[in-house]
Structure 1
Amino acid sequence: MLKFLVLLVLSQSLAFAGPREEAQDILLRFKDETSLTKRLDLISKTFVGLPYGQGGPLGEGPDGRYDQDPLYRFDTFDCTTYVETIMALALARDVAEFEVHLDKIRYENGEIDYLKRNHFTDLQWIPFNIENGYMTEINSAVTKEIKIAEALINFPNWLRKIKISEIKMPNASELERQERLEELHAQAEYYTSSMARVNYLEINMLVKKPQLLNKIPTGSIVNFVRPNWDLTDLIGTRQNISHQGFIFKRNNVVYLRHASTTGKVKEEPFLDYLKKFVNHPTMKGIHLMSLN
C-alpha cells in the first residue's frame, strides 16, 4: 500500500511538470541520502511498475538530427535508459549535474550526437564508462571462473539496416524522414567493423553455486551476455549483450531490478531469473560492474 501511495504521489506531482522540473523533484526527495548505494536503491525502486519503453524512449532531444525523442524522461524506460537514468540521478545533487552525468554516461565524451551515442553495450557503453571513470568491472570479486565473449560488431552494416521507423522526427514529412534516413545510411562509409570482447560468469555455473550470488555487491550493474549473438538479419550485426539491470539485496535475498521486455520496470529474485536461462541456446552469462 505504501509503495502504491509513493508511486501515486510521484505520478501526480510530475503529471504537469517538464523534464527538468521532474528531475529536480526526484532529486529533492532523496537529497538527504548520502550513500551512493542507498541512493541507487531508493531512486530505482521509485520507478518500479512503470511501463517498458518500446523502440527506445530516449533520443537527442528536439535538435536531434535522426532521433528527436527526449534526452531524458521519467514515465517509461527500456533496460539501458533505466540504468543510465538511475546512475545519473544517484550521482547528482542538482539538475545541471544530473544532465552532465547522463550525457557522459550515454555518449562518447558526453557529446550529444546520434553517432556518438553508446549504441552497443559491449563495444561502447562498457569500455567508455570504464575509461571515463564512472564504472569498474567486478566479475573477479565473485569468482575466478571467468569466460570471454567475442563478437565482431559490424557498425557499417548496422547503420545501413536502420529503418525509417527509427527516424524520430515528429514534425517532419515522410519525405524529409526518408531523406534523413538515407543520410544516416550514407554515414556507414566512415565506419569499420570492430571486435567487442566482454568477460562473463556462466549462468549454469552460478545456478549450481548460488552462494556466489551473495558476493555480488548490492547496487551492482549486471549485463546479460549472449556470446556472438547473431542478429545480422535483424539489425545487421552480431553482438554480445542483450539486457541490463541492477542487483540489490534485501533480507538475505539477491534481487534483479530492471526494465523488463515483459512490459514494465520490475524486481524479481535473481536466482529465479537466472534459472530461466539454464542451458539456454544464446543467453550464457552475466557481466558485473560497480558505479564509482
Structure 2
Amino acid sequence: MRKIFILVLTISLYMSCSTGYQLNRETWQGNLSPDSLDSQILEDLKKRPLYTFNEYETDIYLKWLYHSEPDFQERIRHLAEKNINQPYELYLLGEFPFELYDPQPLYVLDRSDCVVFTEHVYAMALSRDWPSFFKTLMRLRFQDGEISVTKRNHYALHDWLPNNAWLVHDMTDSLGIETLPDTIRYDKQRFLKNRYHLETEIPKDSLTWTYVPAKNIEKASKFLKTGDLVFVVRGFESGRWIGHYGLIIVDEDSLVNLIHSTPPKVIKQPLMEYVHQSLVRNERNREYNTKAEIENPRIRYYNTQLKEKKFRFFRKPKPLMTPRPYFYGLKFLRPVEPDTSIR
C-alpha cells in the first residue's frame, strides 16, 4: 500500500506542475526516446540551470540525458556542473507528508545543502526519468528506501555509507597514502529523542574509521576520478566527524575540482584551493576558540550573578561562545553504477 501511495504522490506532484509549455501530456507519459522529445523544450532546458527545473522539466531532461550520455561518470559531471550557483539552504531533509516529525519535504529542486546536492546528483545520474529519480533518491536517503525519520541516514559513517554500499565503496585505505584512524561513538536513541521527541530502543554504537590527513591530500588527489564522493573531516582533538559532502570533477587538463553546496551557493573550485582555505580557517578558529576559553567562564559567572539579582529586567543573559571545529582531512569514496539500478 505504501508503494502505491508513493507512486500516486510522485505522479501527482509533477503532473500538477505548471510548465508554460503547450504539450500533449499523453505523449509525455510514455517512455520517450530522444527523437520523440520536443526539440524546442530541450534547447530551452539545455540553456537553463538545473535548479530552475520543475518536476515535469526534470523528467524530460533526465530522459534525454540518459539516452544521450551512456557514461555514468559523465552524467555525474554534467548534472553537477549544471547545478552550479544553486542557492544554499541548510536542513532541507524531511519526511513530509509521510511523517510529521520533520515537516521538511522529501525533495527540493531549487535549493540544496551539501547532502541534498550530492544525493540529487547521484540519483539523477542513475535515473532515466522522474519516477526512477524519486525512487533512487529515497533509496539513497533512507535505509532500504523506507521513508521514516528513524530510517533516515542521519550519520555519514554510521548510516549513509553502509546503507549505500550498493553504490559507493570506501577507497580511503586503498590509495597507497598514509591515513589516520579515529573512533566515533553514536547515541541515536538520544539524538532522536532530543530532536524529534521520539522514543526508540536503538543501542549505542561506535566504529573505527580512517581518513587522509590534510598534509597528504595532494598526493591522494592524483588517484581521484570524476564522480568520487568526498567526506570532509572536521572536529576537535577530543573527536572528529564528517561535517561536509562534495563531489570530485576532473577537468580535461587533469585539474581536480570539488563541487559542493556551501553558503551561499553551489560552487566548483580546485580541491587543493578548498584544502588551503580550510587550513587558513583553522587558524582563525583557533584564535576564536582561545578567546572562548577565556570569555566563557566570565559569561557563565555573569549569567549566574544575573539570576540571583531580583531586578534584572533590563539585562539579558549573554550567550556562550560556541567552539568552532577544525578541518582535519578528507575521506574518499568511489561510486559504481549498479548492474541493476533503480528504474
Q: TM-score, normalised by structure 1?
A: 0.77
Task: Tell me the residue number matched to 2:184.
Answer: 151
Q: Which amino acid aligns with 1:278?
A: L
Task: Tell me the residue number matched to 1:256.
Answer: 258
Deviates more, 1:196-205 or 1:103-112: 196-205
The residue matched to 2:258 in structure 1 has which SS?
strand
Q: Which amino acid aligns with 2:83?
A: F
Q: Which among 81, 88, 94 is matched to residue 52 of structure 1?
A: 88
Q: Which among 148, 153, 164 is matched to residue 113 of structure 1?
A: 148
Task: Tell me the residue number matched to 1:89.
Answer: 124
Q: Which among 183, 189, 213 is matched to residue 202 of structure 1?
A: 213
Task: Tell me the residue number matched to 1:166.
Answer: none
**Higher relative contact order by CA 8 Å / sep ≥ 6: 1 or 2?**
1
CA offset at residue 12 of structure 1?
Answer: 9.8
Task: Tell me the residue number matched to 1:128.
Answer: 163
Any unmatched runs of 5+ in structure 1? Answer: 163-183, 231-237
Cα contact 1:153–1:239 (8 A) shared by 2: no
Cα contact 2:51–2:110 (8 A) shared by 1: no
Number of equivalenced pairs:
248
Name the CA distance, whole Å, in 2 between partners of 1:123 and 1:228: 19
Cα contact 1:198–1:287 (8 A) shared by 2: no
Q: Which amino acid aligns with 1:134?
A: L
Cα contact 1:7–1:47 (8 A) shared by 2: no
1:62 paired with 2:64, answer: no
Task: Tell me the residue number matched to 1:290.
Answer: 334
Q: CA RMSD in A?
A: 2.4
Distance 1:240 1:24, change over 3 A: same
Name the CA distance, whole Å, in 2 between partners of 1:79 and 1:215: 23
Q: Which amino acid aligns with 2:278?
A: F
Cα contact 1:203–1:277 (8 A) shared by 2: no
Q: Which amino acid aligns with 2:77?
A: D
Post-superposition Cα deviations, 1:62-99, rounded to whole Å, max 9, x if no partner, equal 22221232212210001011111111100111222212
Q: Which among 31, 37, 40 is matched to residue 73 of structure 2?
A: 37
CA offset at residue 47 of structure 1?
Answer: 0.9
CA offset at residue 141 of structure 1?
Answer: 4.0
Deviates more, 1:251-260 or 1:21-30: 21-30
Q: Work out the percentage of aligned pairs sharing the same amino acid.
A: 24
1:9 paired with 2:48, answer: yes
